[in-house]
Amino acid sequence: MKQMRFCFTSILIILAVSFSLSTHAADKQKAVLVTGSSSGIGLKITEHLVKKGFYVYAGARKQKDLQRLNKMENVSSVKLDVTKQDEIDAAVETIKSQGRGLFAVVNNAGVGTFTPMSTFPDDDILWIHDVNVMGPHRINKAFLPLLKESKGRTTIIGSISGYVTGASSGAYSMSKFAVEAYTESLADDLKDTGVKVSIIEPGGYRSKIREKVTLHLLTGKYKLGQNLSDEQKKQLEETKKQNAQLKEPDEVAEAVITYLTSATPKLRYMVVPNKEQAEVTVKTALSRVVQLNADQPYEYTKEELVKMLDELMTKK
C-alpha cells in the first residue's frame, strides 16, 4: 500500500512538473512583428515563423488581408501602413496590451517601380523611399523600447539590388542602397543595448511586386484588378508567367529563422535562388573596391588587397 501511494505521489509530481514546464514554455513564446505580411515574402515569413513556434503580429493595410491573417493559428493581424505614424503608434499600443512583449521586428513592407533613371518622376522616387527607407526607420524607432526590454532583434528585408542596379531600377536600388547604410549605422548605435540588427538580401524570388510594377508601367497605377485592354492583359499575363517560373521565397523565410535563432547572428544574409545571382552580386561589390582603390595616392597592390581579404574572411 505504501509503495502504491509512493507511485501515485510520484506520478502527481511528474504531472505537476510537466504542466509547469509547458506553461512556462508557453509564457516564453517569442513574439515577432512582420510588416507587409499579406502576400509574397512577408506571408512566407509569417508561415515559417508560426511553424517554428513564434507568435506573429502580422502587419497589413487592407481589411480583407487583416481578416485572412487573423484566421491563422498564433497570428494576430495588425493594421499597419509604415508611412502612417498614427497607425504605427496604434500598433505599438496594441502589441503592448497583449502582454507578450516583442522579441523581433521583420521590416518586410516594400514597394518598387522601374523607369529609366533620367526620366524617373520625383514623386515616385520619394514614395519608394518613404516606404522602403523611412518605413523601417519609423517602425524600429517606435518599437525600440520593446526590443530593448527583450534584448531582441530587428531586421530589414533588403535586396541584392542594394549592390546591383541598372538603367531602370535606379530608384528601387537607391532605397536598397540606403537601407544598407541604415542597417550598419543602427547596428553600431545599438551595439551596447543587447538589440541585434541585420539585413537580409534576397535575389529574384516569386513576388506580386512584379505584377504591380507591370501594372504601373501600363496604367500609371499599382492596384491589382484594374480594367485593362486586351494588349495590357497580354503583357500582364506574360509577367505572371515569368513570375510563376521563379522559386517561392521559402529560403528567404528560412534566413529570417536562422537570424532569429542564431546565438551569433550576422549583420548580412544574402539569399539567392541560384549561383549566377550570387556571383554577379559579389563581383559587383568587389568591382567597387577595385574602382575605389585605383589611381589614388595610397593605392594598394593586388597582394595587399588579397591579404586584407584573407584577414576579413578569418574574422567572419
Strand order from edge to edge, sheet including 55-60: 75-79, 55-60, 31-34, 104-107, 153-157, 196-202, 268-271
CATH number given to 28-206+248-294: 3.40.50.720
Distance CA 34, CA 23 (A): 25
pLDDT of residue 12: 44
pLDDT of residue 63: 96
Tell me, what amino acid is at 295?
D
Residue of 101, 106, 110 whose CA lies nearest to 130:
110
pLDDT of residue 258: 98
Which residues are identified as catalytic? 172
pLDDT of residue 16: 45
Q: Which three cell numbers stand for residue 311?
A: 584577414
The domain spans of the chain are 28-206+248-294, 208-245
Q: Per residue of the chain (316 residues), give pLDDT as tens.
A: 545 454 554 444 444 444 444 334 345 799 999 999 999 999 999 999 999 999 999 999 999 999 999 999 999 999 999 999 999 999 999 999 999 999 999 999 999 888 899 999 999 999 999 999 999 999 999 999 999 999 999 999 999 999 999 998 899 999 999 999 999 999 999 999 999 999 999 998 877 666 666 666 656 665 666 677 777 666 667 766 666 667 899 999 999 999 999 999 999 999 999 999 999 999 999 999 999 999 999 999 999 999 999 999 998 7
pLDDT of residue 194: 96
